Structure 1
Amino acid sequence: MFSTIMGLPAHPLVIHAVVVLIPLAALGAIVVAVWPAARRRYAPLALGVATVALLSVPLATHTGELLESHVKRTPLVERHTEMADGLLPFAALLWLGLAVLVFVRWYGAKRNVQWGRYLTAAAAIVAVVGAVASGVQVVRIGHSGATAAWHGVGTSSSGRAAGPHH
């Protein structure tokens, strides 16, 4: 796959999809999980956002691995990499909960099944757990990545502010 986009490292550009779409999907999942009227109207849209978000996670991980070969290996980079590798299961849990909510709504509406409310409740719980876990993990991963990228930038050895021209 690609390691640059128009000469810039792809990873810092690609991660913006994860940073925007995972929280958006998480918010959508929570809304449709706890509000039946929103579920009827917006669950397919939330599932669409969650699908694109889920697909963006391995892309961000892959571009991060490509970038990793061009940066100094530090404990901060290692921590960021390890944390990033753990996002996919949470994003998948979020997606799965939404997918089951959409399926039960569609299938149950056509066949008036009685078990639908139990499966809806279980899927809503899965979606909310996946939403909270993936949202928290995106913040943690983003913070660790920013720390790894910017560690030591901003101060000189004398403690004075250092910029690109100092």
Structure 2
Amino acid sequence: MFDTIMGLPVHILVIHAVVVLGPIAALLALAYAVRPAWRDRLRLPLILGAVATGLSGFVAGESGEQLEHRLQAAGGNDAAAMALLHEHTEAGDLAKVLCLVFMVVVLGVVYFLLPATKPARSKALGMLGAAAMILVSCAAIVSIAITGHTGAKSAWADQVVATQGATTTGGGD
């Protein structure tokens, strides 16, 4: 189920949703937590973003496991490449969990601790909800960034090394 779609790895297709939607949803959660006046306007986009982040993070993690098994079965003999892949897989496992935790925390806080339409149940619970949302949002952003970086390194490091020293025309730093 999480292996391929029309011959392409599901992982490659879905990671872009996590990399884009995850940080956007986390930024919305941060704004929701610290700007009570914005909560009414942010509620629906935050809920949709949190669910999209949780689901796409889960699918990316599961499809990444399938892709890793496919690459190992194809004869991943390059120890350096397999080490990079393992580093990415470990980071991805954490990111998958944090995306799901982010979704659950956001939904819980939005519906129970800091609802947009009425005051928080209590000041202490409201502050606890805001703190939880801030913490899990920051953790999700960092985890997604680390996972994306290790994934890009795993996929592209050998191609970039192979082009070093080659002459290029145009572009550059």
TM-score bin, normalised by smaller chain: 0.7 to 0.9
- Which residue among 140, 144, 153 is the counterpart of 2:150? 144
Paired residues for 1:98-109 under 5 Å: 98-103=106-111, 104-106=113-115, 109=118
Contact 1:87 1:134 in 2 (8 A): yes
Partner of residue 19, structure 1: 19
Structure 2: distance between partners of 1:88 and 1:70 = 20
Partner of residue 171, structure 2: none
TM-score, with structure 1 as normaliser: 0.83
Name the Cα RMSD after superposition: 2.5
Identify if the C-alpha distance between structure 1 residues 29 and 9 changes in structure 2 by more than 3 Å, giving closer, same or farther.
same
Structure 2: distance between partners of 1:38 and 1:85 = 33
Aligned residues: 159
Contact 2:57 2:100 in 1 (8 A): no
Q: Which amino acid aligns with 2:166?
A: A
Q: Which amino acid aligns with 2:108?
A: V
Deviations 1:68-102 (A, max 9, x none): 12322611000100111011332244334322332
Where structure 1 has 5 or more consecutive residues not aligned to the other structure, the ranges are none
- Which residue among 128, 133, 141 is the counterpart of 1:127? 133
Deviations 1:111-133 (A, max 9, x none): x77x4322111111111111111
Identify if the C-alpha distance between structure 1 residues 107 and 136 changes in structure 2 by more than 3 Å, giving closer, same or farther.
closer
- Which residue among 75, 83, 87 is the counterpart of 1:79? 87
TM-score, with structure 2 as normaliser: 0.80
State percent identity of aligned pairs.
Answer: 34
Partner of residue 160, structure 1: 165
Identify if the C-alpha distance between structure 1 residues 51 and 97 changes in structure 2 by more than 3 Å, giving closer, same or farther.
same
C-alpha displacement at 1:46, in angstroms?
0.3
Structure 1: distance between partners of 2:63 and 2:167 = 30
Identify if the C-alpha distance between structure 1 residues 116 and 88 changes in structure 2 by more than 3 Å, giving closer, same or farther.
farther
